[in-house]
Amino acid sequence: MSILVLTDLHREVRRLFIAGSGLAAGDLRLAKLVPQLRHLSGTAPVLGKVADAVSQLCEADRERAPGKLLELGALLHAILYTQGDADTKGGFREFEPYEPLGGDAGSGAFALATPATFRQLKPLIDALTERGSGRLEVIRQACEAGLFADMRTHVPAVIALEDPSSEIAEFVAAHVLPAIGTPALPILDNRLELEGGRGDARKLQLIHRLTNAGAEELVVRAASEGSQEVRIAAIELLADYPGQEAYLLEQSRDKKKEVRRAALHALAGLGTGNAAARLLEALRSKDQDIAVEPVRLCGNERLTAEVIGYAAALTDQLRSEGQADASADKAAKEKAAAAAAEKLHYALQALDGKREPAVAAFLMNLVPDTTLPAKEAANLREQAAGLLLDMETSGTDLFLHDLRDRRDLRLLSYSFRAAMRALTAAEWYDAYEPFVRNRKQAEAKELLEVMRNAALRFDIMEDHDEERERSPKEWDGRWIYRFIELDETELVCRLVQGPDDKVEAYLSGKFAAEPKLIKHGTVHILLALFRLGHAEAAELTMKAFEAMTSRQLYYLDREKAALLLQLPREYADRLRMYAEGLAYEGVKNEMLEIAELIGAKPEQPEQTTKGAGWIEWIKRKMY
């Protein structure tokens, strides 16, 4: 019997069940199948009955068609059912429980469950195994909802480690599979291919993690037999196995740079005397660029002291090059100085993050050193100043602050930022205000840029309750008047804290000059006017939005949303009317939500600064 013609007929019958039996009369697709069924009825007489049923359905009127369609469907399903094969191919074998890597056999039993419905799982499994945009959000939400407790998600999760989207693969490796835990080990183990690519490197890393570094044999084999990506991952994991020190020392001299890099990182994790000696050797060699990070991460105190000594020797060498006899060959002298400066640059990088007093002492001697060659000294001094600033100690901050009198433009910004932490608000203002009196001077331009960058970290719409270098409430009040004189509107908006007639008059004038929301900074001016308690802030805001055409507002960013949410409750209906006239549906719906929020504000004026749930709304919509 030919299954193909019956399959085609089944598809057409299903189509009519969905579209309606009334369309069956004279259906050409059905009629085309009748001759084939008649021809095959010679070998399978039942197909003659099927051909008759099809003909009767095609000739039936609308009243008789439903019954004829049901008769044909029942007959067709009965025939197709008899053609199925329920036998299982292959033999039977006894189930062998999984024995965890590095563990005892008794822990190989896992409590697996299927609590989720298939309707919940289908979008997640598709996101893990198929391609397309928007999949990461589906996976993230499923992880938060605990859907990966369902064992049916475990294999797709492991498959996702090889996803072409590195963002998805890394998320699954970092969050999903660790949440699944030990039940994922059998799947990872069975699907691991040592000759594979980045996905298999992730599998090896997860096996190592989920066994609590109990897969030494597998990791060692991967380090010697795996593809380059798997091998590199394995070598880095050997940092958790002290017995592999000799092997790592050997691999740190491999011909391939990536292998040497991985071995140096693993040696940094070991932190032994031999490992520290090899790291210092690499820092002194052509591998200095790949040795910097491992040296920086290594906690061996002796290594830190030796790096300081190495950096000091390079400083002496550089100083001697700067003081060489002028009659010496100029090109050779410059070449030697450049080489020493480059090595010193890498040595300083290796000291980044180390807060030992000896490191601070060396850096504080290097920054003011005037005997170094001018061409190389500027960059090295600035690098050393940056390292001192990152130490965040009172001693290093005060040292940097004292450098302001050197009038070194490249160091001034470090002095300023250190003083933000080390001095009182008044002391800080008195020390640095003279530098910004004339905005045309280089010092003023440098410090104003630093202050703009610092102020941008302040959320103009919130209460600045996060830890920062110095929140706006901690800036000396005199800064805001200096910024008004300098016409630094953005800084004024960021630093305003409460009612102030002079500030209010300045910002009102700036808004009157540029009242359009499409102009940069206008939203910040209006937000600042609300914080000042300006009587017309709400009306100015509403008019500014109403002045925009229906198509100018195509996206409601976080700051515009926060501005609208400052409106008092009596503006809810007016905002709703404005939203109805917008051209873009997404913005319109968000505006209507905001109108509902401000309409729900309490009547007391002192409570209307922020609408009920406005921060939650912004976080939900904008993050």
Find the CATH number of the domain harbouring 238: 1.25.10
Has residue 420 been placed in a domain? yes
DSSP 8-state code for residue 176: I
- Tell me, yes or no, whether 126 and 164 share the same domain: yes
- Tell me, yes or no, whether 279 and 142 share the same domain: yes
Count each helix (H run) and each strand (E run) in the chain, helices first.
34, 0
- Tell me, yes or no, whether 138 and 277 share the same domain: yes
- Tell me, yes or no, whether 159 and 243 share the same domain: yes
Has residue 467 been placed in a domain? no
pLDDT at residue 495, rounded to an integer: 87
Residue 113, strand partner residues: 150
In 10 A of CB 557, how many CB atoms?
11
Has residue 362 been placed in a domain? yes
- Tell me, yes or no, whether 136 and 164 share the same domain: yes
Number of alpha carbons in the 13 Å side-chain half-sphere of residue 184: 32
| CB contact at 8 A, 56 and 38 | no
- Count of structural domains, the chain: 4
CA 270-271-275 angle, 5° bins: 90
Q: Token digits for 360?
A: 């601070």
Q: What is the CA radius of gyration of the chain?
A: 37
Has residue 464 been placed in a domain? no
- Tell me, yes or no, whether 282 and 320 share the same domain: no
- Tell me, yes or no, whether 159 and 238 share the same domain: yes
Has residue 259 been placed in a domain? yes
Q: How far apart are CA 52 and CA 55, in angstroms?
A: 5
Has residue 521 been placed in a domain? yes
Q: Which of 294, 325, 353 is the endpoint of a domain?
A: 294
- Tell me, yes or no, whether 324 and 282 share the same domain: no
Helical segments of 60-153, H only = 65-82, 118-129, 135-145
Q: How far apart are CA 401 and CA 389, in angstroms?
A: 10
Has residue 490 been placed in a domain? no
Q: Token digits for 392?
A: 């965040």
- Tell me, yes or no, whether 265 and 177 share the same domain: yes
- Tell me, yes or no, whether 278 and 329 share the same domain: no
Has residue 564 been placed in a domain? yes
- CA proximity to 188, closest of 104, 262, 98: 98
Q: Token digits for 37?
A: 């069924």
pLDDT at residue 40, rounded to an integer: 85
Q: How far apart are CA 290 and CA 266, in angstroms?
A: 13
| 24 residue type, one letter | A
Q: How far apart are CA 254 and CA 73, in angstroms?
A: 71
pLDDT at residue 290, rounded to an integer: 96
Range of the domain at 315: 301-445
Question: Per 3-state DSSP, what percentage of the chain is helix, strand, and coil (rounded to 5)?
Answer: 70, 0, 30
pLDDT along the chain (623 residues), means of 10: 81 88 84 88 86 90 88 89 70 63 48 84 94 93 93 95 95 96 93 95 96 93 95 96 95 96 96 96 96 95 96 92 62 84 95 94 93 87 95 94 85 93 92 92 92 71 44 80 93 87 94 88 92 92 91 86 90 92 90 90 56 51 47
Q: Which of 294, 328, 358 is the endpoint of a domain?
A: 294
- Tell me, yes or no, whether 525 and 585 share the same domain: yes
- Tell me, yes or no, whether 146 and 203 share the same domain: yes
Q: Which of 445, 475, 497 is the endpoint of a domain?
A: 445
